């Protein structure tokens, strides 16, 4: 679709001197909004393909010494709750626990109030504490 079915706005950037409603013109130029998407499954495969990274990702199950103190997300109650709910998931040391964070921002400050970005950060909690937030 080159136009919004509800309001008829062009999907593509339209110059001021062009006819807004013309189909010919609406197909030209860059899109009005862009969503950058990085597929996550190939990324996980890539990370597990490296032996050192794979060792770090299973550190929560294989390399951790639990001393009763909360030093890693794996020591927390929500981690153990998920382990209790999904025993098959717990048994697989290569399971991944992710944190998602997002917020909107204007990267150009007050220069362009029209533009905003919403970065989405994915944090792998399986990693050892010295790598988890790096």
Least distance between Zn ion and beta carbon 3 (Å) = 8
Q: What is the largest CA-CA distance in the chain?
A: 69
| 5 to 29, 31, 52, 97: CA distances (angstroms) | 19, 16, 50, 39
Stretch that binds Zn ion, among 7-15, 18-26, 39-47, 79-87 (CB under 5 A): 7-15
Cα-based angle 44, 55, 129 (whole degrees, multiple of 5):
90
Distance separating alpha carbons of residues 14 and 86, to the nearest angstrom: 51
**Residue 33 contacts Zn ion per CB under 5 A:** no
Residue choice 6, 15, 45, 134 for contact with Zn ion (CB under 5 A): 6
Distance separating alpha carbons of residues 118 and 104, to the nearest angstrom: 4
Stretch that binds Zn ion, among 3-11, 13-21, 38-46, 107-115 (CB under 5 A): 3-11
Residue choice 1, 2, 3, 4 for contact with Zn ion (CB under 5 A): 4
Q: Which residue lies nearer to Zn ion by CB, 4 or 40?
A: 4
Q: Which residue lies nearer to Zn ion by CB, 4 or 82?
A: 4
Distance separating alpha carbons of residues 11 and 34, to the nearest angstrom: 10
Residue choice 1, 7, 121, 133 for contact with Zn ion (CB under 5 A): 7
Binding residues vs Zn ion (CB under 5 A): 4, 6-7, 9
């Amino acid at each position: 679709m080159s136009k919004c079915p509800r309001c008829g706005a062009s999907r593509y950037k339209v110059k001021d001197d062009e006819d807004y409603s013309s189909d010919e013109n609406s197909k030209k130029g860059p899109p009005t909004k862009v969503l950058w998407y990085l597929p996550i499954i190939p990324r996980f495969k890539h990370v597990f393909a490296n032996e050192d990274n794979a060792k770090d990702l299973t550190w929560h199950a294989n390399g951790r010494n639990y001393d009763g103190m909360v030093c890693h997300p794996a020591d927390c109650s929500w981690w153990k709750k998920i382990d209790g709910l999904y025993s098959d998931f717990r048994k697989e040391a290569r399971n991944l626990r992710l944190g998602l964070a997002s917020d909107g921002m204007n990267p150009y400050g007050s220069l362009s109030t029209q533009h905003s970005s919403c970065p989405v950060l994915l944090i792998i909690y399986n990693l050892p504490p010295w790598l988890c937030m790096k």
